[in-house]
Structure 1
């Protein structure tokens, strides 16, 4: 049997990526270590999937085949989290694939990697 052990994101600038994702997700570097080419981030409370950052030369995909979904419980929390993530360095993506009444907002981290913030209460 296998299970997901961690999610890996390719980055250009390790220190910038660590700053963003630790603040965005309330994670910390495993054992306090940040290396120049590979860093694993763990949830502060120990619950959840680790996020690994790997220096990569691959270009960012405009429409990535895989991405992170960050969940919020309601519309107010969704709006507040989107604004908080933007204040940390994320950018809104001019997403051409939004449905008529989206329950999500597409953002890009400071490295350009796309991720979604989803309002779970959206009907």
Structure 2
């Protein structure tokens, strides 16, 4: 397997407040201009796991998931399914989605992202 953690995706209800807080708390910065419902923070210096902030209206505390990245998405998804993962049913993927949503054996969602070819 060649899976690596790409990012932790953190559900937030106030994007600007979350960007300010997590940037200061972790000494992170915006990777690029944020979208209204999504922002990516990376370390100010050096390497580290990125923190992706996803706007949510859910008041539930379980709004977080992990993203894994791989050069071989189809193969890794098949391997994870063989290990006991399941597919998220009724997920509405965007037309150009580079991720697959799976469930671990406890029902926790996570994504397997296809690495860009030029990375």
1 or 2, which has the higher strand percentage? 2
- What's the TM-score once normalised by structure 2's chain length? 0.48
